[in-house]
Amino acid sequence: MMNISVALRAAAATINWGERASTAGTVTLMGMVTIFAVLAILWAMIEIMHAVLHKGEKKEKEPRPKKAAPIAPTPNQDDAAIAAAIAAALAAAEDDGAVVAAITAAITAARAEAGETTPFRVVSFKRAERKRGYRR
């Protein structure tokens, strides 16, 4: 009885490098073709099952809801509390506007001192992180 590795070594001794590369390429391509063929068959089977299981179902487009008119607030017994909350919110918004205006004026003044006259636009304000000597 002959060992397989011995037989392969004996056969490999008579085959040159080009024939080995050709055989390796053929085996690789056949493997790729086989894998993609099996994947295509699986995909086709899944699509057929999907079509059979969802045969009677039709996709219905959901109707878009019409834009409703804005709802007017109804009078409430807590009108005074609501009015106070609205006034506080508007005051806070005005304060934010004042802060933004002050920051923009400071930037404009600093740019004027530096001699820059090109226009600019403030996109956002972010708080700077405070640098500490220790980590929390």
Q: Same domain for 8 and 49?
A: yes
Whether the CB-CB separation of 107 and 122 falls below 8 Å is answered with: yes
Q: Same domain for 47 and 82?
A: no
Q: What is the pLDDT along the chain (136 residues), one digit of tens a residue?
A: 556 667 667 666 677 888 888 888 999 999 999 999 999 999 999 999 999 998 877 777 777 777 765 555 555 555 566 566 666 666 666 666 666 677 677 777 777 777 887 877 767 767 667 666 665 5
Q: Is residue 26 part of a domain?
A: yes
For residue 122, the Cα-to-chain-centroid distance in whole angstroms is: 27
Q: Is residue 20 part of a domain?
A: yes
Q: Same domain for 49 and 16?
A: yes
Q: How far apart are CA 111 and CA 95, in angstroms?
A: 24
Whether the CB-CB separation of 68 and 87 falls below 8 Å is answered with: no
Q: Is residue 69 part of a domain?
A: no
Please give the pLDDT value at position 40. 98
Q: Is residue 131 part of a domain?
A: no
DSSP one-letter code for 96: H
DSSP one-letter code for 113: H
Q: Is residue 67 part of a domain?
A: no
Q: Is residue 47 part of a domain?
A: yes
Please give the pLDDT value at position 33. 97
Q: Is residue 94 part of a domain?
A: yes
Q: How far apart are CA 86 and CA 81, in angstroms?
A: 9
Whether the CB-CB separation of 101 and 125 falls below 8 Å is answered with: no
Q: How many domains does the chain have?
A: 2
Q: Same domain for 46 and 84?
A: no
pTM value is 0.35
Q: Is residue 15 part of a domain?
A: yes
What is the residue range of 46's domain? 4-53
